[in-house]
Amino acid sequence: AQSVSQHNHHVILSEAASLELGCNYSYGGTVNLFWYVQYPGQHLQLLLKYFSGDPLVKGIKGFEAEFIKSKFSFNLRKPSVQWSDTAEYFCAVNSGGSNYKLTFGKGTLLTVNP
Amino acid sequence: EADIYQTPRYLVIGTGKKITLECSQTMGHDKMYWYQQDPGMELHLIHYSYGVNSTEKGDLSSESTVSRIRTEHFPLTLESARPSHTSQYLCASGQRGTKNIQYFGAGTRLSVL
């Protein structure tokens, strides 16, 4: 069964610091990769996705992620975080053979101090 | 972006009560899902549906049941709530052929006393 690991449970940064959140998955075949964000009191929102092509994908609000197939990784990055980026971030993977299943990581809580 | 609505947002109920968590989406999506999420844990799929009259159990065993009589509506029912059912329940929907992009509701936080 596929699994998703997010290495950091809680990350605390100051505004303007750079961010990188790790995500590794276990499935060896074709995958579709997602990052979702959940702001306090709000629903999960799609931040960005990777299906194929350029392994560097850009999402909303200045976030980007890089797919490194050899490392089974899909790390999320942002050059300069803002207080409004405080949220929980979830990595999710859909293996190519599955029509329905998204496997989620446990999430990383990001706190950005002003 | 899908509009997907869950009610109630919060529910505190006593043991043994029957409850139904409502989920509706307005985008005509074929696929709908229920997840269970506990603090600091990943989302666990408990039910999903490919369309009307289609329901399947997910990876996490759940005593809840679901129905899909209309495309837009996917309610989840617990016949007899127990404290172990205390959790957050998230509903999601997605359209066939979109590589499993899912859109989420705001969730129902259930507490069973």
Q: Tell me the pLDDT tens digit for each residue of B7-18.
A: 999 999 999 999
CB A102 within 8 A of CB B59: no
CA–CA separation, B26 vs A73, rounded Å?
Answer: 34
Nearest-CA distance from B2 to chain A in Å? 10
Chain A residue numbers touching B107 (CB-CB < 8 A): 43
The mean pLDDT of chain B is 92
State what percent of residues in chain A have pLDDT above 70. 95
Mutate to test the interface with B, among A42, A45, A93, A102 (most CBs of B within 10 A): A102
CA–CA separation, A79 vs A57, rounded Å?
Answer: 14
Q: What average pLDDT does range B67-90 have in this prediction?
A: 96
What is the rounded end-to-end Cα distance, in angstroms, of chain A? 41
Residue A97 has pLDDT above 70, yes or no: no
Q: What average pLDDT does range A86-114 have in this prediction?
A: 88
Q: Could you count the other beta carbons within 10 Å of the beta carbon of residue A63?
A: 21
Q: What average pLDDT does range B82-93 have in this prediction?
A: 95
Residue B33's pLDDT is 96
List, in order, residues 6 or more apart from B69 with CB less than 8 Å away.
B52, B53
